[in-house]
Structure 1
Amino acid sequence: MINFLKGQPSSDLLPVELFAKATASALAEPDAKVDMLQYGDELGTVEFRDNLASFLTKEYSMAVESRHLCPTSGASFGLQHALSLLTRPNSVTKYCYFQEPTYFLAFDIFRDVGYELDQFVGVPDTQNQGLDVGYFETMLAKHFPVPPPAPSNDNDSLVYSSVLYCVPTYANPTGSILPESQRQRLVQLARKYNVLVVCDDVYDILTFAGQGATTNHSNGDHTNQTSSSPPPPPKRVVAYDLELDSAHPVVISNGSFSKLLAPGCRVGWLECHEKLVQRLGAW
């Protein structure tokens, strides 16, 4: 049973035995005192990032490299952390764009960082096609008649002119999926207008078996087929950003185990270019 008032799973679905076994195993390791109970590395242990990269590579059906991962204490913290380090409310960062409708708690996170309501701009979700990228381009052209310059390579100057919060795959609450052609277009616009795109990708792995769209990642084609295994998730927006030159990365994929294991499992990750990982890892 699901509690629809809070959107939380039934308690009988929470894997208590799995967590108990994993905790006992971790605490039994020779270096458990340091690895489990001491202050950790800024970017987490090499073993964790390598294991996470292997897990995501399998789930996303495409390569994920550990050098592109920055561990967090969950998706909400990941969003707040990225905003705190890569944007400047009421100065350099002029606008906050939101896929509309969207996850309601995201607004509070932006407000807590220092953004005002008059900086918020809604971008319609077309339900069947996800974020209306054409409308987003119109808003960017209106707000920035002259596209702003890209941030400096200096970490202290790595600040974006605006920020977009979106859920490209299985959007909350509409369930829409942004087509791959629009994902490419979104990255191009973000680079042109110096927009930090934070993709809430916590639902990408939550696919269902049966009839679905299968994507050929080499050319972006979609075909419908019936299968006993879930169709692969669409190629994430961050993957398109990572394929381009590293001079101006603009996309962060925000992930969390809270939707995969249990809401109280406050362990997540940010996936992005190394340039951004090094900035985000500097707590």
Structure 2
Amino acid sequence: MNYSLFFPENVKKALQNDPPGAWMSVLPEGCIRLNSGYPAPNLVPAQQIKAAVGTLIKEEQDLPFHYIGSSHTASLPQQIQKRLESRGINVCEEELLITSGACQGIDLIARSLLDEEAVIAVEAPTYMEALEIFKNYTNHIIDIPVDEYGLNTDQLEEMLEERKQARLPMPRFLYTIPTFHNPTGTTMPLKRRKHMLKLADKYDFLIVEDDAYGELSFYESVTPCKAIDDEGRVLYVGSLSKVIAPGMRIGWIVGAQELISVFDWFKKDLGHPFSHATIAAYLEGNSLEDRLHLLREVYQARCQTMLKALKEYLPAPITWNVPEGGYFIWVKTPGIDTQQLLEQALAIGVAYVPGKYFFLHQKEGIEYLRFSFSYAEEQDMVEGIRRLGELLAPYYN
């Protein structure tokens, strides 16, 4: 049977794109995983989460396992509101939607705001899974370069003015990762953030701010764009995946009540009551601020270890960004196709993510790769960089 006959045209078009997770390599046993944007295994609070589950079952028996049962579930939005308030984002409960991780939040925004004619703007490079999501809904995607200070808002303004003069449709929204960008690790300064917000008001588009790494600052905390959003232009997407545990799938969208109610209309999954209750119980019994302090210290040390190894082992003229937080270091390997190099890297037991997957136009990323310093042990990171240095050296002799 030809099941493709049952698919509408928009689905057929979406299926022509790379499948989800195409960037994930099959790893040989014992491979040093410099590709994994995951929390360090020993930093996941497994015992504390286990204790929270024990408390739930002891206090409430079967209630946490029902659709609407545990009293702890209802407290999670309040706990997230309190956390957002500490970062300058004040919202009522009607302006907050809990989602199954940040990706569901991004998908709900895309599903609700986009159609086949919609235009959106993204960064170049950008988070590859967000790019995968957007391609499911529209092919009208404009990419704006990222430099050492994040999204280049001057080039964004040039694009918007050109479209206005040509009477072309404005983007429905701009998707941006302004703080500890994935993959480049860059952070947009306040001046650019204000410029971006001014452009959104002038040219009438929304901003989707992905702040998955925003609380993992090595130095001073960074003000989210949503905290300075006076016009209600910003849809703020956050997550506990990077600071507690990704498998719990706790994310959220913050935005105007009219938009949040539409996203909730299409959500339809009744949430995840057990994981919501578990994380709420965990937060009630543990200091998230203390945990964040620990994570910042550990990840800063890991980042410094990787930066030192890059300087010691990678040949010139390879260069990289120096992040001020988050998980990632973005590396440029002039003259080398990092997708082709990956097979050789895996053969010596080292994995990374080729840069092409982070670009709308993949050829723009062939000389880049992304390392993560969050997952592998420090001695393994150093060894992995050393092996790659030996692999790369002949290309530059």
Cα pair 1:148 1:161 within 8 Å, conserved: no
> In the alignment, does 2:225 pair up with 1:237?
yes
Deviation at 1:136, TM superposition (A): 0.6
Cα pair 1:3 1:9 within 8 Å, conserved: no
1:259 aligned residue? 242
> In the alignment, does 2:40 pair up with 1:51?
no
For 1:63 and 1:96, locate their aligned partners in 2 and report how far apart those are by CA, in whole Å: 25
Cα pair 2:77 2:96 within 8 Å, conserved: yes
For 2:235 and 2:115, locate their aligned partners in 1 and report how far apart those are by CA, in whole Å: 17
2:262 aligned residue? 279
Deviation at 1:19, TM superposition (A): 1.5
For 2:124 and 2:244, locate their aligned partners in 1 and report how far apart those are by CA, in whole Å: 28
For 1:195 and 1:2, locate their aligned partners in 2 and report how far apart those are by CA, in whole Å: 42
- What do you get for the CA RMSD once the two structures are aligned? 2.7
Judging by fraction of residues, say which structure has more helix.
2
2:47 aligned residue? 17
Deviation at 1:236, TM superposition (A): 1.3
For 2:156 and 2:247, locate their aligned partners in 1 and report how far apart those are by CA, in whole Å: 35
2:281 aligned residue? none
For 1:260 and 1:147, locate their aligned partners in 2 and report how far apart those are by CA, in whole Å: 44
Higher-RCO chain (CA-CA 8 Å, sequence separation at least 6): 2
Amino acid at match of 2:130: A
Amino acid at match of 1:18: Q
5+ unaligned residues in a row in structure 1: which ranges? Answer: 150-159, 213-230
> In the alignment, does 2:158 pair up with 1:138?
yes
Deviation string, structure 1 residues 78-124 (Cα, Å, up to 9, x no partner): 1010111122232xx2x221111111222111122x212xx222111
Deviation at 1:279, TM superposition (A): 2.2
Specify whether residues 79 and 143 from structure 1 end up closer, same or farther in structure 2 by C-alpha distance, changes over 3 A only. Answer: same
Specify whether residues 205 and 193 from structure 1 end up closer, same or farther in structure 2 by C-alpha distance, changes over 3 A only. Answer: same
For 1:277 and 1:186, locate their aligned partners in 2 and report how far apart those are by CA, in whole Å: 22
For 1:237 and 1:124, locate their aligned partners in 2 and report how far apart those are by CA, in whole Å: 19
Counterpart selection for 1:74 from 94, 101, 105 = 101
What secondary structure sits across from 1:282 in the alignment?
helix
1:108 aligned residue? 132
Q: Structure 2 length normalisation: TM-score?
A: 0.53
What secondary structure sits across from 2:265 in the alignment?
coil
Specify whether residues 275 and 105 from structure 1 end up closer, same or farther in structure 2 by C-alpha distance, changes over 3 A only. Answer: same
What secondary structure sits across from 1:97 in the alignment?
strand
Q: How many residues align?
A: 233
1:86 aligned residue? 113
What secondary structure sits across from 2:111 in the alignment?
helix
Alignment of 1:6-45 (within 5 A): 6-30=36-60, 33=63, 36-38=65-67
What secondary structure sits across from 1:173 in the alignment?
coil
Deviation string, structure 1 residues 150-189 (Cα, Å, up to 9, x no partner): xxxxxxxxxx852211101111122211121221221221
Counterpart selection for 1:96 from 112, 120, 131 = 120
5+ unaligned residues in a row in structure 2: which ranges? Answer: 1-30, 267-397
For 1:8 and 1:148, locate their aligned partners in 2 and report how far apart those are by CA, in whole Å: 40
Deviation at 1:30, TM superposition (A): 4.1
2:331 aligned residue? none
Name the % identity.
Answer: 28
Deviation at 1:143, TM superposition (A): 2.1
